[in-house]
Amino acid sequence: MAVRPRNAGIAFLSICVLVMFSFAGQSGKEEAKPLLPETPAGQRVQAFLAAFNSGQASQLERFFSDNISAAAAKQISPADRAARWMQIHGEIGSIKLRKAEPPSPDSLVIFVQGERGQLVRMGFRFSPAPEYFLSGITIDEANPEDLAGPLPSMSRPEALAAIEKAVDLSAAADEFSGVVLVAQHGQPLFLKACRFANKEFEVPNRVDIKFNLGSINKLFTRLAASQLMEKGKLSLDDKLGKWLVDYPNADAAAKVTVRHLIEMQSGIGDFFGKKFEETPKDVFRRNADFLPMFADQPLAFEPGTQQRYSNGGYIVLGEVIARVSGTDYYDYVRKNIFEPSGMTNTDSYEADAPVPNLAEGYTRNWDGKEHLGSPRRRNIYTRPARGSAAGGGYSTAEDLLRFANALTSDKLLSPVFTDWLLTGAEPSSPQEIPKEPRTQGGLGVAGGAPGINAVLELDRETGFTIIVLGNYDPPAAMDVAKKIRRLLGAIKN
């Protein structure tokens, strides 16, 4: 349900919708405008802000043409970069510069606020003088305290102690229940479980408890499609109708491509809605069971002309994977992703099947309302009997670390396809040799629904992996992940 893009515009992983947060405590008084440094880097950032706020793909494309190197433009075209940033513009609108941190020789960090109050951190990296070409942009959620300035530098042990304190405080306030794992270069540094997997019987969460992942499953679906493309069995330009000849919407079958499904540019809608709410949840046992919720509906827009979050599109992509591979979707991801990664506690479990060490979800959302202050209830009436290619599977924190390690060590894809997943650099062929060192890119994905919130983040540059799995409503796990990210960012080199 959420994504924290890494290296957006240089690389943006469009798996889940970017769900931002409210920025409270605004003053009605206009504050002094922060000034960017009068340097080549500052001028490039100013030009980016102007292009982004124009809301025009053509101006963003022109910006990237003028501000990145020829080699970078060859890797990802200015048009592709512009398209990815247009998606972000659609989610947060125009932005206002709130703060610029003191620049370093090769980077500049700014904090901006979106039209709906979202506070966002953008980090710009530059090549050496005299060119100062833009070499990377990261975009992360930010917190109001970020406007007060960066945290004091600290050692890794100090940061880990601060992380434990932050997790303990969130759990003590009953704002978070779940498991937190922090690793660097694939090795766990911090692992802790808090509160209860089952409140009724006061069964505590343990580090090996399975949590609902929500939309993090979309990452596995995209990865499965990538594997089939790598083998030459599937193409980004394949039309939907080539594989699903009986798809209920002939217009979609004729126009929607695999690329549109992956990038959420298909115009196919969502399965959530009144029809889903009124349907008994026990009927959803296979990925295809979700199709009647949306497949016969008209496209929301012409495929390829917009980007809009689509659970339905990933349901359809799951069916394409099943048809191309000749294997049930669940069996495919289990055999080709979970097993090679060593993920023995990960699957799309059925809600009425007894599964050891599985956390119940607890929510304050029911009857279409949020009941703040009320005791949380189990989320048994809001989740389907089984997850899908769009989300709802289960995993543990340790299994997700195994997955992250398998992905970054090229055990699941060839190096060029791994880089495509983590940087957005589309490969020309599976045999293409990536440039070394491969330190750019990463991913940040999250899932959320009533009683479900999960975060998986990895950054190839720092080597940090953050995993937060929870059984409370969003943004419980996401808030913990933000605190951890901020503390890790204070570690001195």
Q: Tell me the per-residue pLDDT of 274-301, one tens digit each, with 9 for 90 and over.
A: 888 888 888 899 999 999 999 999 999 9
On whether residue 23 sits in a domain, the answer given is yes
- Is 189 inside any structural domain? yes
Res. 491: pLDDT tops 50: yes
Residue 246 belongs to some domain of the structure = yes
Neighbours of 388 (CB within 10 A): 26
Whether 455 shows a pLDDT value over 80: the answer reads yes
- Of 218, 4, 220, 215, the closest CA to residue 91 belongs to 4
Supply the mean pLDDT for the chain.
Answer: 88
Q: Are residues 176 and 237 in the same domain?
A: no
Together in a domain, 91 and 187: no
**Are 36 and 167 within one domain?**
no
Tokens of 79: 């048009």
Residues 412 and 276 in one domain: no
Residue (of 486, 472, 471, 489) closest to 210 by Cα position = 471
pLDDT band with cut points at 50, 70 and 90 for residue 34: low
Q: Hey, what's the torsion of the CAs at 373, 196, 202, 395, to 10 degrees? A: 130
Residues 11, 76: contact at Cβ < 8 Å? yes
Whether residue 103 is found in the same domain as residue 184: no
Residue with tokens 């530059």: 126
pLDDT reading at 12 higher than 60: no
Read off the pLDDT band of 26 (50, 70, 90).
very low
Q: In this predicted structure, what is the pLDDT of residue 16?
A: 35
**Least confident window among 25-39, 146-160, 257-271:** 25-39
CATH of the domain at 235: 3.40.710.10
Using one digit for the tens of pLDDT, what is the confidence trace for 356-368?
A: 999 999 999 998 8
Q: What is the mean pLDDT of residues 446-457?
A: 96
In this predicted structure, what is the pLDDT of residue 5? Answer: 38
In this structure, are strands 203-204 and 377-378 parallel, antiparallel, or unpaired? unpaired
d(CA 490, CA 493): 9
- For residue 24, pLDDT over 60 is answered with no
Q: Which amino acid makes up residue 462? A: T
Q: Tell me: the pLDDT tens digits for 90-99?
A: 889 999 999 9
- CATH number of domain containing 47: 3.10.450
**pLDDT tops 90 at residue 6:** no
Q: Is residue 440 part of a domain?
A: yes
238 within 8 A of 257, measured Cβ to Cβ: yes
Cβ proximity of 403 and 212 under 8 Å: no
CA pair distance 197, 202, nearest whole angstrom:
8
311-350 pLDDT per residue, tens: 999 999 999 999 999 999 999 999 999 999 999 999 999 9
Residues 233 and 350 in one domain: no
* Final residue in a domain of this structure, among 109, 130, 148: 148
User: 349 and 293 in one domain?
Assistant: no
Q: What percent of the chain has pLDDT over 90?
A: 67
Q: Is residue 47 part of a domain?
A: yes
Q: Kindly state the tokens that stand for 259.
A: 């690329």
- Check residue 128 and give its pLDDT: 86
SS3 sequence of the chain: CEECCCCCCCCCCCCCCCCCCCCCCCCCCCCCCCCCCCCHHHHHHHHHHHHHHHCCHHHHHHHHHHHCCHHHHHHCCHHHHHHHHHHHHHHHCCEEEEEECCCECCEEEEEEEECCCCEEEEEEEECCCCCCCEEEEEEEECCHHHHHCCCCCECHHHHHHHHHHHHHHHHHCCCCCEEEEEEECCEEEEEEEECEEECCCCEECCCCCEEECHHHHHHHHHHHHHHHHHCCCCCCCCEHHHHCCCCCCHHHHHHCEHHHHHCCCCCCCCCCCHHHHHCCHHHCCCHHHHHHHCCCCCCCCCCCCCCCCCHHHHHHHHHHHHHHHCCCHHHHHHHHHHHHHCCCCCECCCCCCCCCCECCCEECEECCEECCCCCCEECCCCCCCCCECCECCEECHHHHHHHHHHHHCCCCCCHHHHHHHHHCCCCCCCCCCCCCCCCCCEEEEEEEECCEEEEEEEECCCCEEEEEEECCCCCHHHHHHHHHHHHHCCECC
User: Do 398 and 445 share a domain, yes or no?
Assistant: yes
Q: Is residue 333 part of a domain?
A: no
105: confidence class by pLDDT, cuts 50, 70, 90: confident
Least confident of 49-63, 176-190, 276-290: 276-290
Residue 74 or 189, more confident: 189
Are 223 and 208 contained in the same domain? no
Euclidean distance between CA atoms 429 and 252, whole angstroms? 28
pLDDT greater at residue 361 or residue 5 = 361
Query: What band does 23 get if pLDDT is binned at 50, 70 and 90?
Result: very low
Is the residue at 296 inside a domain? yes
The closest alpha carbon to 136, from 75, 93, 83, 183, belongs to 75
Distance between CA atoms of residues 363 and 375, nearest Å: 8
* Cβ-based neighbour number of residue 175 at 10 Å: 15
Mean pLDDT of all residues in 227-254: 96
Q: What is the number of domains present in the chain? A: 3
- State which residues form the domain around 305: 218-327
Residue 77 has pLDDT above 90, yes or no: no
Domain boundary among 93, 124, 148: 148
For 393, residues 6+ apart whose C-beta sits below 8 A from its C-beta are 212, 213, 216, 217, 220, 346, 347, 348, 349, 387
| Same domain as 192, residue 240 | no
Q: Which of 98, 114, 148 is the last residue of a domain?
A: 148
If you count them, how many residues does the chain have? 493
Mean pLDDT of 35-44: 89
Residue 13 has pLDDT above 50, yes or no: no
In a domain, 493, yes or no: no
Q: Do 34 and 52 reside in the same domain of the chain? A: yes
Predicted confidence band of residue 273 (pLDDT cuts 50, 70, 90): confident
269 pLDDT exceeds 90?
A: no
Residues 351 and 450 in one domain: yes
Provide CB contacts within 8 A for 193, sequence distance 6+: 178, 179, 204, 205, 206, 207, 209
Distance (Å, whole) CA 448 – CA 461: 27
87 vs 336, higher pLDDT: 336
Q: Which residues of 83-119 are buried (b: 16+ CB within 10 A; e: fewer)?
A: bbbbbbbebbeebebbbbbebeeeebbbbbbbeeebb
Q: What is the mean pLDDT of residues 169-174?
A: 97
What is the pLDDT averaged over residues 64-75? Answer: 87
Structure tokens at 164: 């434990």
- What is the average per-residue pLDDT within 384-407? 97
